Amino acid sequence: MRKLFFIDCSKAAECCNKSQYKEAKPLDKMKLFLHLTFCQACRKFSSKNSKLTEAIKKSKIQSCSEEQKQAWREQIKKEFAEDNV
């Protein structure tokens, strides 16, 4: 019984991270919830972690496409080589 429902802090952290990406299984989420009721350290981590997710969502960071990055890399390489002739 204990083994079924109790998880250690590293397992709790993993589940907490997965749930930031909606990849935690329902049973694991339950175990996390139970763990959080008695573990203050993980509660603290969990709240920071959610705050981070919130901040990232709010910031609307975008990344530019890999093709564009490759084009810039080549452009810089080419110009850099010409400048140093």
Which residues contact another protein (rule: CB under 8 A)? 13-14, 17-18, 20-21, 23, 45, 48-49, 51-52, 55-56, 58-64, 68-69, 71-73, 75-77, 79-80, 83
The answer for residues whose C-beta is within 8 angstroms of residue 12's C-beta and 6 or more apart is 31, 32, 35, 36, 39, 42
Between residues 2 and 54, which has the closer beta carbon with respect to another protein?
54
Residues 15-54, one symbol each (x = binds Zn ion by CB under 5 A, - = not), give ------------------------x--x------------
